Structure 1
Amino acid sequence: MSATVSSRRAVHLLSAVALAATSLMAQASTSGVVISQVYGGGGNSGATYTHDFIELFNAGSAAVSLNGWSVQYSSATGSSWQKTDLGNVLLQPGQYYLVQQAQGAGGSTPLPTADATGTVAMSGTAGKVALVSSTSLLSSTASSGPTIIDYVGYGSTANASEGSPTPPPSNTAAVIRLLAGCTDTDNNNANFVAGAPTPRNTASALNACNSSGSGGTGGGTTTPTAVKIYDIQGSGSTSPLVNTNVITSGVVTKVNNNGFYLQDPIGDGNALTSDGILVFTSTAPTVAVGNLVQVSGKVTEFNVGSASNALSLAHTVTELTAPTVTVQGSGQSILPTPLTLPVSTDAELERVEGMLVTINSQLTVSQNYFQGRFGQVTLSANGRMETPTNRFRPGASALTLAEQNALSRLLLDDGTTLQNPNPTPYFAADNTLRAGDTVDTVTGVIDYGLSTTTTDGLADYKIHPTQAVSFTRANVRTAEPDAVGGNIKVASANVLNFFTTFTSGSTAAGASGQGCTLGGAVSASNCRGADNLAEFNRQRAKIVESLSAINADVVGLMEIQNNVPNTSGSGTNADTAVLNLVAALNAKVGDSTYAVAPAPAGTTGTDAIRVALIYKPGKLGLSGTALSDTDAVNNRPPLAQTFAAANGEKFSVIVNHFKSKGSCPSSASDPNADQGDLQGCWNEQRKLQAQRLRTFASTVQANSGSTDVIIIGDLNAYAQEDPIEELTSHGYVDQIARFNSFGYSYVFDGAAGRLDHAITTPSLSTKVTRAIEWHINADEPSVIDYNTEFKQPACAACGPDYYSASPYRSSDHDPVVVGLSLLKSVNGTPGRDNLTGTAGDDVINGGEGSDTITTGAGQDVLVYTSLRDGLDTVTDFTPGSDRIDLSALLASLGIDPAQAMAASHVRLVNSSAGVQVQLDTDGSAGPAVPRALIVLRGVTASQLQSSRDLGL
């Protein structure tokens, strides 16, 4: 890769680089002895050699005395050790030392003459071996300590190792250190291979490690090789000079708290090699950006994740460790290399690892969950990333989208490894950065690192900015959800572990020493929500703000405490938590506005969390008792309740919380294990729950006498996954999909999708006016939530507490809101009628003839489709509540509703009987005489608003 430097500095830089390549030598280490070979299959079935053995090797440049040393062995998962003392030998550079161990019953070939003999029977597949500068037995499995010279964990089940364990040996294979013992990067997995055992002793030929090879433990004594940064990086995913002591130089482009980035000022012009590298200092470096420095250090490939993390293992970071740094100049600069996302392969980012780059195309914030915790934000090209199985059925298309997502995203880091940075980076003046916001330019250094809190989680390429990053608020907060129409509003809300019993064992009621029930066991460790009363009050305030703004008539709740009777038999009200929430909600919106729909006794399951239903008794009545399905497939039983509107219309709500995708089965053969199809773990369980839900819904329909059912809740399955297909392929209608092709309620690994659903029976689908998600949670950073840990003042060094009693980040899932038009139809005859509506919401169509209409209570709609539908008298029309629908009539006459009032097609004329709604077929421009269609008794024209009351 080539870099660009200002021409006036080029001559100075070239001479400085030449000087840097020759002026510094590596310093010797105290010991270079390593364990170079381990074989535990001696004498086993199929083995050639009769004995187990351990081989040592001096990879350094000075002789080392083994007097008073020992080799020690422990089983793969054990913590006790057995030892074999070594002889009083001065081991020369490049010399091997053979320790013979126990003999087995098989094998045909004895070992070469051993330099030391023990009786330890070692495992042929997995174990731990330590080289110790003492004859005292080790007392722990720690892989480092004051007396441990080298340590090898071999086989995949070894519970300790340097880095990760070696590949597994066998009866016919030993684990052998690379380069005949010269490779040592302190990672057993990277430094050893399994191969045919080749025992060597002190009489074997010497194998001194040269200056371009790898030193032993502690670095060995090698002369550093003068190389350019791009030669260290090479064109592959790992350095060709790994574990080599080198000397190089370049310009400092970025300094963080434990290292700095160095870039060759000229570059090699090869797009396949990076010109930059990380110099890991472990403590704050003393260099500054723009310094020209010379570095002597060891080339290392660092795995940012765990030994089992395939992503991080495939993307180790090339770095220089244990560096000696000399500043040779200052005031230098490197022009950043242009970079465009998405890349075609992630090798493109490997080729600029450690380099200063600039991205001059718009990127979108796709995830901000770790913004407060680690100062990082996931950015993506071409807009937000969508969860693949939210758009496609599991299969090739979904996998292709997953690959595209991976090539489109980049982590924006804050340039340090510090946790809970103060201040939190990238916040706007309103103390947030929302997913969906955009940035047009980012300049910084490319690195690779974890994007989650777990070492086996997702890892990605990242950029450490060297210039201030400016975001545009492209995804604006809203104070309330968009209108969904209809006369009934149904919502679902995941309240993210709303517990009235805290993790401290205290409760919202002031009790102490309490616990939460999980599977029949009661313990404070089972509680999942607030840690204490202060956090609880903050949590509840946010939830109340969100629910009051939604203002739904029915709300299904998920992740609320399951206050089931405890094991002592004293018991608690199963609705304690939901009653507490409703009391707080009513304190804000009005006494008795909401009530709890009681769950049937003993049907809330044995999980620590449950589902619940709350509703407005002033708007809806309970029709029959609630139902719950306690079938064994449901770890959190669904809850159903039929509601009746004031007009007599009925519908049923079933709230659900399916099995989550986490805590995978231990066996890969389990049908609920991750199948690699992007649906995660427990998909088979969720399919069974969906199938059972269909049966339960049929029961609910039969009991209610109405086919109108809406299924809401957190189904823990994205829109195109099998559990949703189990419903939609059997006639159920996905309402979010009807109104939004990219609906989402949750963000995971930078991709947005919907786990929270509104799915209806076909009969109710025709009455759904709109279904939406209100994006108050998934798009917000978690640092603004109710928790107090990792924030000031609890953590003085952490960032500020950005909490506010607002709906934003009241949960991690977005609420779903659905409008239903449940209107009672009241129809007249072709003649004169006296029509009376119900106490609820009605659609009244008097038909032909002069009718007298009394709408009754509720919000009523008067429909007119023909000029023959008048002259009607409405006795109790209420402006702002009732409405006249002229849309079909105007359409039949070819009149544009938007122009009907302005062109005088529709006129409001006051009379002694009340305001007349008149219709003029040709408006003010023609000779037709207006005719009165409706008289609204007791109403004047000034009380009416054309858009509100006439839909015009």
Structure 2
Amino acid sequence: MSSRLTRTSALTVAAVCGSALLITTAVTASGQTADDARIHDIQGNTRVSPLDGKRVTDVPGVVTAVRGFGKAQGFWLQDPKPDDDPATSEGIFVFTGEETPDVEAGDSIRISGDVTEYYPGGEEAGGQSVTQLTGAEWKAASKKKQALPKATALTADSVPDAYVPDGKGDDGDIESLKLQPDKYALDLYESLEGMRAGVKDAPVTGPTTEYDELWVTADPDEHPTPRGGTLYGDYDQQNGARMKVSSLLPQKENPFPKANVGDALTGTTSGPVDYDNFGGYTLRATTMGKLKDNKLEREKTAKPGKGELSVATYNVENLSPASEAAKFDRLSEALVDNLASPDIVALEEVQDDSGPDDDGTVSAGKTLDKLTAAIEKAGGPSYETREIDPENNADGGQPGGNIRVAFLFNPDRVKFADRKGGDATTPVKVGDDDGKPKLSANPGRISPDESAWKETRKPLAGEFTFGGRQVFVVANHFSSKGGDKPMEGRTQPPVRESEKQRTEQAKLVNSFAKEVESVDKDATIIAAGDFNDFPFSPSLDAMRKGGVFSSPMDKLPAGERYGYVFNGNSQVLDHAVTSPGTGAVKYDIVHINSEFYDQASDHDPTVIRLKP
């Protein structure tokens, strides 16, 4: 809860007037009241109520929806007689805590309560606030059910192309700025906070999650992908027509649709506009469109041609022996059928043998053995594995899981230059073996003692040979975006604090590649993995600095450059960058997970093919 949220000292409940409910509480500590206010007066024309901290009395409105579950129950109220200012919302949420409100949609009531600003996830998380009434008491204003106010249509024409204004001051705060709903998408949604809004025949751009949420767009022409998504192609392409959808309907009678990207909710999906800390503005649907399944298919990559080496990267999302058998089956089938059994695979998020149990285990032999056995059962090669166990709880990720990067390789196709491997803390060195680069340990960790790798995964360098030629592969999993301000938050432009650490990590991988190239300027070096950052980010710029690496993904059509879907935006987090000596590369992001509600991982794998 926000520090601004008024705490009440007492709560009693008594039934009155049939379906109406009277909730009596102590008044605010300040004793302030605001008479004759309507909802638009409470909401005001900025993001924070001008009556924040005051008590309002006898505010009229019609109940439009009820949230009757969990610890944040309440209902939405809307004034059917709006003012003429499009910046002031006519709707508001009434928070009743764990008390189920005894009201129904269509009830006409008059309400008194304390005006508060609630920050989902806490004020420090950087999200916007929800103006609401707490400590409320209400009474029926009419025994007759009222028609609900018409839902505001969200369309390609009504949602502005511009996303949000820049904030004021050093912290970029937008809370005090007057809303301009005709100019900025987030201002439009804020001006509709608590009001009924809707989309019609809305394409799905983010698949149904385990929490029964999905993302749609009001503008299918806004940076579309060929498979029906919305592309996040730069920091200023936020795609403001996206909107999250959850449901207020009884799930037994109205199960939430299981949707993939490219599907659509036909008809109208409407409900009050809310805001939460997992994606921002949300339609809490009281009317849900019918799912149209557009039959999105999982992709398959081409098999390598004669003399071609195939290298893949795949984030297997916290894989351990504790993972369900079906997950191992799906990962292995994908590696064999969809990825055409790559010669080398850089894996990310391989957990230790006890998985999430925080018991001091660091080895991952059982995890990898279970995966390679499943691959062989699926008709794939008998992969060998190489990895280095981390120090316990030193590399971030799920506590106790000890995630790390690891290699799979097909010994019938490539050879691993076996020599003593490194350990968790010893940096790998690049030596000169009669004009050929040679790793001091194989595999070895790149600069694990550097502060850039604190509490995150260290990159693993491996030396292979294919057709008699050396190939150096670096498996990576850079630090997460945790701690960054949200795209839809109140700090604009958002502060991306985590970029600093990833940029330093990229510099270290770049320096390692320079060492290899100093021995052999034509060396084949591939750095692949989950870089947790975008192609246009400072960390990828640092990775490519000096021409040490390039991004062959750039040769793909722009609309196909994505392998991860977050909040309805199709984007890139996984990369495979190559040295000049690598030569021509065929690049393929194989869409099998991120666009689908039934995922084996939240990442799509990437496969490259080359002739060293």
User: Same fold by TM (over 0.5)?
Assistant: yes
Candidates 385, 389, 406, aligned match of 1:612: 406
Q: Classify 1:220/1:603 alpha carbon distance in 2 versus 1 (closer, same or farther; 3 Å).
A: closer
Please state whether the residue corresponding to 2:581 is helix, strand or coil. helix
Shift in alpha-carbon separation, 1:246–1:412, aligned structure 2, 3 A? same
Aligned equivalents of 2:502, 2:36: Cα separation in 1: 59
Pair member with larger Rg: 1
Alignment check: 8 A CA contact 1:338 1:358 kept: yes
1:733 and 2:553 matched? no
Question: Given the alignment, which residue of 447, 455, 477 partners 2:273?
Answer: 447
Distance 1:461 1:356 in 2: 13
C-alpha separation in 2, matches of 1:358 and 1:600: 52
Which residue of structure 2 lines up, in the alignment, with residue 267 of structure 1?
A: 82
Matches within 5 A, 1:325-364: 325-326=139-140, 327-330=142-145, 332-339=147-154, 340-342=158-160, 344-345=183-184, 346-360=186-200, 362-364=202-204
2:42–2:115 contact (8 Å) kept in structure 1:
no
Distance 1:771 1:300, change over 3 A: same
The answer on 1:548 being equivalent to 2:347 is no
- Distance, in Å, in 2 between the alignment partners of 1:662 and 1:496 is 16
* CA–CA separation in structure 2 for the residues paired with 1:341 and 1:482: 41
Determine if contact 1:555/1:615 at 8 Å carries over to the other structure: yes
CA contact (8 A) 1:575 1:598 kept: no
Please give the secondary structure, in 2, of the residue aligned with 1:707.
coil
Matched, 1:470 2:309: no
**Matched residues in 1 for 2:49 and 2:506: separation?**
50
CA distance in 1, matches of 2:389, 2:205: 46
State how far apart, in whole Å, the 1-side matches of 2:553 and 2:326 are. 31
Say if 1:475 and 1:301 are closer, same or farther in 2 by CA, change over 3 A.
farther
Query: Paired residue for 2:210?
Result: 372
Q: How far is 1:216 from its partner?
A: 4.2
- Distance in 2, Cα, partners of 1:448 & 1:773: 35
- Do 1:227 and 1:248's aligned partners in 2 also have CA atoms closer than 8 Å? yes
**Cα gap change, 1:736 to 1:321, in 2 (>3 Å):** same
The corresponding residue for 1:643 is: 465
Q: In structure 1, what is the equivalent of residue 313 of structure 2?
A: 492
Greater relative contact order, per chain length (Cα 8 Å cut-off, separation 6+): 2
Change (3 A) 1:268 1:735: same
| Cα deviation, residue 760, structure 1 | 1.2
Cα distance, 1:678–1:710 mapped onto 2, change above 3 Å? farther
Equivalent residues of 2:224, 2:231 under 8 A apart: no
Counterpart position of 1:884? none
SS at 1:373's partner residue? coil
Aligned partner of 2:473 in structure 1 is 653
Correspondence list, 1:53-92, <5 A = none
* CA RMSD, Structure 1 to Structure 2 (Å): 4.2
Q: 1:328 to 1:481 in 2, by over 3 A?
A: farther
Find the partner of 2:572 among 754, 757, 761.
754
In the alignment, residue 614 of structure 1 is paired with which amino acid?
Answer: L
* Counterparts of 2:294 and 2:495, CA distance in 1: 30
Question: Shift of the alpha carbon at 1:678?
Answer: 6.1
* Contact 2:525-2:582 within 8 A present in 1 as well: yes
Alpha-carbon offset, residue 604 of structure 1:
12
- Answer whether contact 1:493 1:557 (CA < 8 A) is retained: yes
Hey, what's the Cα distance between the residues in 2 that align with 1:301 and 1:774?
47
Aligned amino acid, residue 472 of structure 2: S
Other-structure match for 1:244: 55
Residue identity opposite 2:285 in structure 1: P
Match for 1:620: what amino acid?
V
Secondary structure of the structure 2 residue equivalent to 1:733 = coil
Amino acid at match of 1:777: N
- Percent of aligned pairs with the same amino acid: 24
Secondary structure at the counterpart of residue 482 of structure 2: coil
Assess if the C-alpha contact under 8 Å between 2:315 and 2:348 holds in 1.
yes
Contact kept in structure 2, 1:707 and 1:763, CA below 8 Å: yes
After superposition, the Cα gap between the structure-2 partners of 1:302 and 1:465, relative to the gap in structure 1 and judged at 3 Å, is same
- Separation in structure 2 between the aligned mates of residue 354 and residue 572 of structure 1, nearest angstrom: 49
The aligned amino acid for 1:715 is F
Aligned to 2:506, the other structure's residue is in SS state helix
SS in structure 2 at match of 1:249: strand
Change (3 A) 1:250 1:706: closer
Secondary structure, aligned partner of 2:333: helix
- The Cα of 1:217 is off from its aligned counterpart by 3.8
- Match for residue 376 of structure 2 among 561, 583, 586: 586
1:814 paired with 2:604, answer yes
How far is 1:245 from its partner? Answer: 3.7
Query: What are the equivalent positions in structure 2 for 1:571-720 lying under 5 Å apart?
Result: 575-589=365-379, 593-599=381-387, 607=395, 608-623=402-417, 625=419, 626-631=442-447, 632-633=449-450, 635-645=457-467, 648=468, 650-662=470-482, 680-698=496-514, 707-720=523-536
Question: What is the TM-score of this pair, normalised by structure 1?
Answer: 0.47
**How many residues of Structure 1 are paired with residues of Structure 2 in the alignment?**
511
The alignment partner of 1:329 has SS state of coil
Change (3 A) 1:259 1:661: closer
Partners of 1:603 and 1:629 within 8 A in 2 = no
CA–CA separation in structure 2 for the residues paired with 1:254 and 1:750: 25
| Contact 2:529–2:576 (Cα < 8 Å) also in 1 | yes
SS in 2 for 1:811: coil
Q: 1:285 aligns with which of 57, 80, 101?
A: 101
Deviations along 1:564-590, one digit per CA (max 9) or x if unpaired, are 9xxxxx998664432332122112215
Specify whether residues 299 and 704 from structure 1 end up closer, same or farther in structure 2 by C-alpha distance, changes over 3 A only: same
Change (3 A) 1:308 1:468: closer
Distance 2:66 2:136 in 1: 16
Q: Is the 8 A contact 2:194 2:273 kept in 1?
A: yes
Measured after TM superposition, the shift of residue 814 of structure 1 is 1.4
Write the mapping of 1:138-153 to structure 2, written as runs, cut at 5 A. none
Deviation at 1:553, TM superposition (A): 2.0
1:137-173: per-residue Cα shift (whole Å, max 9, x none)?
A: xxxxxxxxxxxxxxxxxxxxxxxxx9517xxxxxxxx
State how far apart, in whole Å, the 2-side matches of 1:336 and 1:683 are: 40
1:620, distance to aligned residue in structure 2 (A): 2.9
Displacement of 1:492 after TM fit? 0.9
What is the TM-score with the length of structure 2 in the denominator?
A: 0.71
**Corresponding residue of 1:948:** none
Q: CA deviation at 1:316?
A: 2.9
CA distance 1:680–1:221, change in 2 (3 Å): closer
Q: Is 2:247 the partner of 1:410?
A: no
Alignment CA distance shift 1:383-1:705 (3 Å):
closer
Task: Give per-residue Cα distances to partners, 1:709-748, cap 9 Å, x unaligned.
Answer: 2221122232122232223233222121222424122234
Alpha-carbon distance between aligned partners in 1 of 2:41 and 2:104, rounded to the nearest angstrom? 24
Q: What amino acid does structure 2 have at the position aligned with 1:733? A: S
Q: Distance in 2 between matches of 1:573 and 1:372?
A: 30
In the alignment, structure 1 segments of 5+ residues that lack a partner are: 1-161, 166-183, 188-213, 393-397, 453-457, 501-529, 565-569, 665-674, 785-808, 823-952
Residues 718/300 of structure 1: CA separation in 2 closer, same or farther (3 Å cut): same
For 2:80 and 2:498, how far apart are their aligned partners in 1? 52
